[in-house]
Structure 1
Amino acid sequence: MGVVETLTSRNADFAAKQFSSDLRLMPSLKTIVIGCVDPRVDPNAVLGVAPGEVATIRNVGGRVTPGLLSEMVMLRKVVQAGGGDIGPGWEFVVLHHTDCGITRLEGQPEMLSAFFEVDQNQLAEQAVSDPVAAVAHDVATLRADTRLPGVRVSGLVYDVKTGLVDTVVKP
């Protein structure tokens, strides 16, 4: 059996045993988790999130880039179009992890500077090789963005060796 057949078979099992048509478009915890695409670090599994509780956005490194900020603004517009808003009462959680693959690109400053949309001489402040410093940087970036007012922002680092998260920036 190929991958697609395996996945669609698992979907049929999900639909039969776990699916709920009662889930709402808005996450019940009014929370957005920003995490990495690394398959070892599924934010919902790592944080014990149930379906419908949080929205999750994943990218390379789980980083807050200009592209991610644009996506967050667009998401806010979607929520506003439905009569709500992302603002006070909402939480953003930045989730980075140890042994992140993005560190393998440190020798490619041209690629990293394009990803972060910064000059190569500004790459050091992105703290690519230090997940704790990177979380602090990304939380500060989110907190400073005036297009996302009133949201509480925190930062966690997941250890891929122990399975535990550490709160490195409190909300």
Structure 2
Amino acid sequence: MIDTDELTGRNAEFADGGSFVGLGLMPSGSLTVIGCVDPRVDPSDVLALRLGEAAVIRNVGGRVTPATLRTLGMLSKVVRARTDGSRRGDVHYAVLHHTDCGITDLAAFPDLLADYFEVPAGDLDARAVTDPVAAVRVDVDVLKQGLPAGVFVSGLVYDVATGLIDVVVPPARVEA
């Protein structure tokens, strides 16, 4: 077990490195990644992101759910509060799913998944829970409907066996 003594020791090493000094609230790479909570698939590690370079939202399956969209809405209010109302440069949202995802085990629990996606159980097939490539396409489409025109959205699938990502949906601007 990793206990609090271990965590505070690790944190002291992190603090000694000073990599956090001078970081702003807005991601320097204008990137937000939506990924899974699976410990094998930390987006910062698998995408080699530096501290402060991207905002990362993680949930079960890395799915774009109504709760994810609400979180993004809240974050947009933070951006407006901390800036003149907009982010600088091109903004990119990347959906990152992965192979061998535990969400596929939840297919046996349709009522649970229906609650998660806030849809009737009969609509779950459209969420492509058991297919990460199809699920990325679904989630990119959902995300595009909830974002302002002009931002970029892409979809990636990480292979837990090879460590490589596949670009399923190349970055494209959301149209008005």
TM-score range, shorter-chain basis?
over 0.9
Aligned partner of 2:57 in structure 1 is 57
Aligned partner of 2:174 in structure 1 is none
Aligned partner of 1:132 in structure 2 is 133
Aligned partner of 1:151 in structure 2 is 151
Size of the aligned set, in residue pairs, is 170
Question: Unaligned 5+ residue runs, structure 2?
Answer: 172-176
Question: What does 1:1-171 correspond to in 2, within 5 Å?
Answer: 3-83=3-83, 84-86=85-87, 89-145=90-146, 147-171=147-171
Given that residues 91 and 151 in structure 2 are in contact (C-alpha distance below 8 angstroms), is that contact kept between their aligned partners in structure 1? yes
Q: 2: CA distance between counterparts of 1:34 and 1:85?
A: 20
TM-score normalised to structure 2 length: 0.92
Deviations 1:38-71 (A, max 9, x none): 0000000000001111010000000000010011
SS of the residue 2:55 aligns to: strand
Q: 1: CA distance between counterparts of 2:143 and 2:148?
A: 8
- Please state how far the C-alpha of 1:82 moved relative to its aligned partner: 1.1
Q: 2: CA distance between counterparts of 1:148 and 1:73?
A: 11
Q: 1: CA distance between counterparts of 2:115 and 2:87?
A: 28
TM-score normalised to structure 1 length: 0.95
Given that residues 19 and 51 in structure 2 are in contact (C-alpha distance below 8 angstroms), is that contact kept between their aligned partners in structure 1? no
Question: Unaligned 5+ residue runs, structure 1?
Answer: none
Q: 1:120 to 1:86 in 2, by over 3 A?
A: farther
- Please state how far the C-alpha of 1:16 moved relative to its aligned partner: 0.7
- Please state how far the C-alpha of 1:4 moved relative to its aligned partner: 1.2
Q: 2: CA distance between counterparts of 1:162 and 1:16?
A: 33
Tell me how large the CA RMSD over aligned residues is: 1.5
Q: 1: CA distance between counterparts of 2:20 and 2:14?
A: 10
Given that residues 88 and 152 in structure 1 are in contact (C-alpha distance below 8 angstroms), is that contact kept between their aligned partners in structure 2? no
Q: 2: CA distance between counterparts of 1:77 and 1:149?
A: 17
Deviations 1:88-121 (A, max 9, x none): 7100000000000011110110000000000011
Given that residues 98 and 160 in structure 1 are in contact (C-alpha distance below 8 angstroms), is that contact kept between their aligned partners in structure 2? yes
Alignment-mate amino acid for residue 105 of structure 1? L
SS of the residue 2:119 aligns to: coil
Deviations 1:100-146 (A, max 9, x none): 0011110110000000000011000100000000000000011122x
